[in-house]
Amino acid sequence: MHLGPVPSRWLASDNAAGAHPLVLEALIGANAGHALAYGADPITSRTEEAFRALFDADVVTRFVYGGTGANVFALACMLQKADAIVCSNWAHIAVDEAGAPERFLGAKLITIPSRDGKIRPDDLLALEHLRGSQHHAPPGVLSITQATELGTLYTPLEVRALCDTAHAMGMSVHMDGARIANATAALGGSRSTLRSFTIDAGVDVLTFGGTKAGAIFGEAVVFLSPIFAERSLNIRKQTTQLHSKMRFISAQYEALLTNDLFIELGRKANAGAQILFELVCDIESLQLHEPPQVNSLFPIVTQPQRAALQEWSFFWDWDPARDQVRWMTAWDVSDSDIATFADGVRLAHAK
């Protein structure tokens, strides 16, 4: 099956993209000379201050190696002994982290079935019976994802309702923001947008992802409620997330936060998915009925079209039992990449 020229960039994942040039410049700058290790360097200090400015609050930011480690570290700072973590059944901590939270935290995950990756206040209230009994692990931390693994978004009001309910139940709230840039861009595209569904909505601790938005490695954990940061320096070391040459992580974030570059890159990735949707949504078999909220589409692609397309320009299966796949656009995708991919999809589905 001839599908024409191959797109220069895959639609497999935003993890497949390289680093933004300004991030590379920042890394080169950080490489000049010597600096004290473990965060005692001027770049890390400046970036911590940049996060305080971003949230307009005295937040505490800790830099770590990667996404799974960031989530484990954040949750370790929040959990009390015997607590359980409540999350969606689609949550990355439940599905794609190889049991790391359970192994390293010794905490039970209570997964909430969800058709769209989101949790509602009623889902939390239904767990009230687990509290106060010595036979159950009480819900202690709610972990939500923004944007979710299914490409859906919580509105600021939805996050506020969840936080209010969780706090009333004696729980704290963690947000996995692996794609925080995409969510911020989609919900309004400003710093006030970001604050509206995080610190202003009552989120206590945020995993602030940069790798999917132009960085090479390293994530940030932002303690919006500083009380959870009290033992964070020790816990970061215990969870093997303390990088000695920390300036190489913080320098990337300094670049991403400067002039809100991370929001602009999220906007570019989202726009690519929107363009792709518009180019192929008329192909009925794909079952793309709603425009994407962020940078991912989940079409139905049956065989032999799926195998031919994946060999031509790779993308991942999502739910093979339903013939569902995932197409995900990154910050560096071009209009020509999208058009070329759409042409290949159309050729594969031609009668």
Is a pLDDT exceeding 70 seen at residue 259? Answer: yes
The confidence band for 133, taking pLDDT boundaries of 50, 70 and 90, is: confident
Is a pLDDT exceeding 80 seen at residue 1? Answer: no
The backbone region for 225, taken as left when phi is positive above 0, alpha when psi lies in -120 to 50, beta otherwise, is beta
CA–CA dist 313, 171 (Å, integer): 44
Each residue's pLDDT tens digit, 28-83: 999 999 999 999 999 999 999 999 999 999 999 999 999 999 999 999 999 999 99
Is the previous residue joined to 304 through a cis bond, with omega within 30 degrees of 0?
yes
Q: What are the backbone dihedrals phi and psi of residue 41, each rounded to the nearest 5 degrees, phi first?
A: -120, 160
CA–CA dist 84, 140 (Å, integer): 5
The confidence band for 351, taking pLDDT boundaries of 50, 70 and 90, is: low
Is a pLDDT exceeding 70 seen at residue 283? Answer: yes
State the pTM of this model: 0.96
Structural domains present in the chain: 21-260 (3.40.640.10), 262-348 (3.90.1150.10)
Sign of CA dihedral 343, 344, 345, 351: positive
